[in-house]
Amino acid sequence: MSRSGITDWILRFLALTMLIIVTGWLALSLALPPGYASPIWPPAGIALAALLMWGRKQWPAVWIGTYALNLWILGNHPGGNAGNDLFFVAAGEATGSTLQALVGAWLTLRWVHPGVPKLSTPRAILLFAVLTGPLACLIAPSAGIASLMHFNTLPASMAALIWWNWWVGDTLSAVIIAPIMFCLFAKPRDFWLPRLLTVALPLAGSLAVLISIFIFIFRTGESNIQAQFNNEATRFANAITENVDRTIDASVTVAPPKRSEFAAFTSGILQRNPEIQMLEWIPRITREQRGRFEQSVRAEGYKDFSIKDQAPGDALVPAADRKEYFPVLFMEPMTVNPQALGFDMASEPIRRQTLETAQASGKPVVSQRIDTLPGEPDLHYRVLMVTPVYDDLPHTSQKNLIGFTVASVRLDRLVETALTEFDWRGLHLTISDSSAPPETADLFREDRNWNEAADFHLHNWQKTLTVADRTWRLTISPDADFVSRHSAWLPWVTQANGLALACILTFYLLMITGRTAHIQAIVTERTASLEAANKQLKLAARVFTEAREGIIISDADGMIVDVNPTFSEITGYSREEAIGQTTHILKSDGQNPEIYAQIWKTLTQQGHWQGELWNRKKSGELYAELLSFSALRDEKGQIRNFIGLFSDITPLKQQQQALELLAYHDPLTNLPNRTLFEDRFTQAIARCNRDKSLLAICYMDLDGFKQVNDQMGHEAGDQLLIEVSQRLVASLREGDTAARLGGDEFALLINICNDPQSKTHEPAISASANPD
């Protein structure tokens, strides 16, 4: 890919990524609850159009743009709960969307049109709408829903509705957004540009109308759901309020009877009020009464009884000396926490504050949320309902505080008991204590699976409850399950009808504009084709005339019909002399005749032959050429012409021969060098083994050659070596080899008969030793 091609790819990559992110972000404002799938999802159509216009190599931009968009949605959507898995969920959704775009593009290329479909015929429009819309758009919703459900991000109850909404949104985008993208960016521009006003603009207008209708119907349904929710919330709040009042009344009715009567007295109250976990009698004991009080309780069978304080670390220890005490004397059921018997409630700050408030007001009071005592099970949040009990003093109107009745109330049971007869699925309840510090304000929070109906603009329902001396705030919120159960089908029907109308409008607009655009495109295309053909003809003529290779064109019988100027330069035949002749005018005797039959056979069977030939010029001079011959056939497959391209490679052949001579021969004596000698030696050994013959090898050097060089000079030495070489060659038979191995060293390779005593080497030695 060229530098400009890489730049274009990068720019398109960035533009496509940002377009997917921006249009997806804008489409979220149309998301149809429950969930976050939009009734039209532009990124689906944009991705499909981009892959068709710019090639499937743009798929990474689709994946990255979709991944970033879904990552933002999952991380910021109020109803999202992907948690640590949101990266994997976003990757699954991005993979499904990318695969959907790739499949849609492949189906279009395979069944509609290679490249951008022109959508000018009913068949092409219908195939494109069906293949890229309802069919291909099954992929992204299925992959996305599977990813959401696999990571427990989406409840199964919502899967079908979100899948439908997702599928419709992607299908509408493929049917509407993709054609708009073609009108804006696709090529050829002279075909698509006129359709901006006749296709893109009406489609965009119809899309705006469809969205407006959908939003109106959705908001109307939202108002109806809000009204239903308010009615449900009011009923639930009334039921909880009544149960709170009933519980307070039950706790107030407890009187301080004897221990033997306490269990029987409280059993009915506990059965009727399961939210009351425990009922206790807390007497007021002065410092002076403490000893006698502890002795009396021990006498009842509680041998280790004493008044105890809650020390740091929550341990229970003997109570310190002080003016008065409020120990637990009776409690039912006793099994909840037997260790609490004797616990001075005034030793724990929250309980002491509650007792003081009850004593000061003389009325029942409710504590803020309390922690468990040592030995008590760590259950749900609890509060204490404390009622002061007085004994009238004789001969006076004053009342003497003798103790408190305390009811320990579990808030989860308080709510569940109140709502026993109600279906509160889909509602999220919280109760907070407005009078308490923030860290202990939470009293109850419904802990079932919570899927916030964030896409609906529903308002939470709140009510302030006055519970004895405290102020509680009850908040009820609807979740996606509540919305799903109370939603009307009108938005969905509107969406389905909108999809059908969009498909029909798209088909109609594309069809009526396609014929005109098609005709215009044909005229433009044929005009451009004629211009291109004219340019090609001119280019071909220049190539034919100015090519540095010889070009020869013949008919099917080998008769020359045209040649270029380079042909004349190489062969010496002018154009006029060559036309009308056969190609045999170039035939030489230096070429094996069988090669011509082989060339003809290859041309007729395979349509092409390439190789080297030795031909003859007009002057009779032989020359080597590199020739490529091709057969040109008509539409019926019959050969009409042959075209040959050749170059004169005679200088190259001569250079090759010179290099071979230099590589295998001694440059001074022209004898074979060591490399060629070793090759011939290997061949001779193989021949001897095959023929069962003998081979003589003679190694020799020149005595006194160094003195010749030293006394007479190197030129005399070279002449001596040349003379010896010529004598050795002259004395050997044809088939024998004399080689110079280097310096004054020579070697002979002589084929001899089967007689090992043969002296066929002696003539060579004698000739080289002869001084004459």
DSSP 460: P
Q: For residue 764, give both structure tokens.
A: 């060579």
**Partners of residue 389 on adjacent β-strands:** 403
Is the peptide bond preceding residue 333 cis, with omega within 30 degrees of 0? yes
Instruction: Give CB contacts under 8 A, 24+ apart, made by 442-450.
Output: 442/369, 442/381, 443/369, 443/381, 443/383, 443/411, 443/472, 444/380, 444/381, 444/411, 444/412, 444/414, 444/415, 446/415, 449/155, 450/479
The whole-angstrom distance between residue 407's C-alpha and the CA centroid of its chain comes to 59
Q: Which amino acid belongs to residue 465?
A: L
Starting at the earlier edge strand, list the strands of the sheet with 442-445.
442-445, 427-433, 470-478, 461-467
CA atoms within 13 A on the CB side of 617: 15
Specify the DSSP element, H or E, that contains 86: helix 86-107
For residues 634-647, b (16+ Cβ closer than 10 Å) or e, as one string?
eeeeeeeebebbbb
**Domains along the sequence of the chain with CATH:** 3-187+493-520 (1.10.1760), 249-418 (3.30.450.350), 547-655 (3.30.450.20), 665-769 (3.30.70.270)
Q: For residue 463, give both structure tokens.
A: 């009510």
The whole-angstrom distance between residue 561's C-alpha and the CA centroid of its chain comes to 61
Residue whose C-alpha is closest to residue 316's, from 373, 238, 240: 373
Residue whose C-alpha is closest to residue 472's, from 415, 404, 408, 387: 415
Q: At 89, give phi and psi (nearest 5°).
A: -65, -45
Contact (Cβ atoms closer than 8 angstroms) between residue 561 and residue 579: yes
Contact (Cβ atoms closer than 8 angstroms) between residue 381 and residue 411: yes
Q: For residue 658, give both structure tokens.
A: 């010179």
Coil, strand or helix at 630? strand
**Which pLDDT value is given to residue 766?**
59
DSSP 227-251: HHHHHHHHHHHHHHHHHHHHHHHHH
Coil, strand or helix at 600? helix
Specify the DSSP element, H or E, that contains 701: strand 694-701
* Residues in Cβ contact with 742 at an 8 Å cutoff, skipping those fewer than 6 apart: 674
Q: Rounded to whole angstroms, how far apart are CA atoms 672 and 81?
A: 87
Segments in the chain below pLDDT 70: 1, 30-38, 77-84, 253-257, 313-314, 373-380, 392-398, 447-457, 487-492, 495, 517-518, 520-521, 590, 753-772
The whole-angstrom distance between residue 256's C-alpha and the CA centroid of its chain comes to 72
Residue whose C-alpha is closest to residue 400's, from 410, 390, 388, 409: 390
Residue for token digits 């074979």? 672
Residue for token digits 């819309």? 133
Starting at the earlier edge strand, list the strands of the sheet with 382-392.
330-332, 276-283, 399-410, 382-392, 365-366
Q: Rounded to whole angstroms, how far apart are CA atoms 673 and 659?
A: 14
* Residues in Cβ contact with 177 at an 8 Å cutoff, skipping those fewer than 6 apart: 40, 42, 44, 45, 46, 49
* Residues in Cβ contact with 408 at an 8 Å cutoff, skipping those fewer than 6 apart: 276, 277, 278, 279, 280, 382, 383, 384
Q: Rounded to whole angstroms, how far apart are CA atoms 226 and 232?
A: 10
**Which pLDDT value is given to residue 396?**
47
Q: For residue 554, give both structure tokens.
A: 């013949």
**Partners of residue 552 on adjacent β-strands:** 563, 644
**Which pLDDT value is given to residue 761?**
53
* Residues in Cβ contact with 396 at an 8 Å cutoff, skipping those fewer than 6 apart: none
Q: Which amino acid belongs to residue 427?
A: L
Q: Which amino acid belongs to residue 741?
A: L
Q: Which amino acid belongs to residue 401?
A: L
**Partners of residue 562 on adjacent β-strands:** 553
pTM of the model: 0.50
Q: For residue 372, give both structure tokens.
A: 């468990």
Q: Rounded to whole angstroms, how far apart are CA atoms 354 and 348?
A: 10
Specify the DSSP element, H or E, that contains 477: strand 470-478
Q: Rounded to whole angstroms, how far apart are CA atoms 656 and 725?
A: 25
**Which pLDDT value is given to residue 292?**
92
CA atoms within 13 A on the CB side of 267: 4
Task: Work out the end-to-end distance of the chain between its first and last CA atoms, rounded to an integer number of angstroms.
Answer: 75
Q: Rounded to whole angstroms, how far apart are CA atoms 439 and 429?
A: 19
The whole-angstrom distance between residue 321's C-alpha and the CA centroid of its chain comes to 73
**Partners of residue 392 on adjacent β-strands:** 399
Q: For residue 666, give both structure tokens.
A: 């001694």
DSSP 335: G
Is the peptide bond preceding residue 34 cis, with omega within 30 degrees of 0? yes
Torsion of CA 282, 285, 291, 292, to 10 degrees: -80
Specify the DSSP element, H or E, that contains 552: strand 550-555
Task: Give the largest CA-CA distance in the chain.
Answer: 175
3-state helix, strand, coil in the chain (%, to 5): 55, 20, 25
